[in-house]
Amino acid sequence: MKAYKVYAIKDGTVIDHIPSTKALKVIDILGLENEGILTIGVGFSSEKMGKKDIIKIENKYLKKEETDKISLIAPNATINIIKDGRLKEKRKIEQPKEYFNIVRCLNPNCITSIGDIDTKFYTVSISPLILRCHYCERIVESGEIEIL
């Protein structure tokens, strides 16, 4: 088996257990392109997942709104908070019961599509992920989800 060298970070966040090939999508939805030093590992072997991706973000700690966005792409990801080179916190991504102003409603007649209203979706099912718009009750399945 080939050993991989992944550099440790002193302070920041490690997002682990991202489904293989989804790391760049996570970076895109979080808007991390200009956040400083990112380390991206793609296609690592994983006993649980077969293959997985990893993202290390130096000097940044993710907020709940950011982990809610990750839950749309990588619901089984793990967030590791690193401070002074040590693991301070490890938590699984939680699938929220509600998404506020994260997902776009696909119904062109929905008030959120017409007016200046923040979107709100309820989680109907986690696996597969199915959401329902608070305003027009449109159902959105995982393959259709558009992130704002």
pLDDT digits 0-9 by tens, 67-124 = 999 999 998 999 999 999 999 999 999 889 999 999 999 999 999 998 889 999 999 9
Number of structural domains (the chain) is 2
Q: Cis omega (within 30 of 0) on the bond before 128?
A: yes
Instruction: Clarify whether residues 68 and 24 are in a common domain.
Output: yes
| 8: confidence class by pLDDT, cuts 50, 70, 90 | confident
Q: What is the DSSP string of 85-145?
A: TEEEEEEE----SEEESSEE---TTSHHHHSS---EEEEEETTTTEEEETTT--EEEGGG-
- 74 and 107 housed in the same domain: no
pTM: 0.83
Q: In this structure, what CATH number is given to the domain that contains residue 56?
A: 3.30.70.140
Domain that holds residue 16: 12-92
Average pLDDT over residues 132-142: 96
Lowest pLDDT segment from 6-10, 23-27, 138-142: 6-10
Residues 81 and 120 placed together within one structural domain of the fold = no
Q: Are residues 71 and 108 in the same domain?
A: no
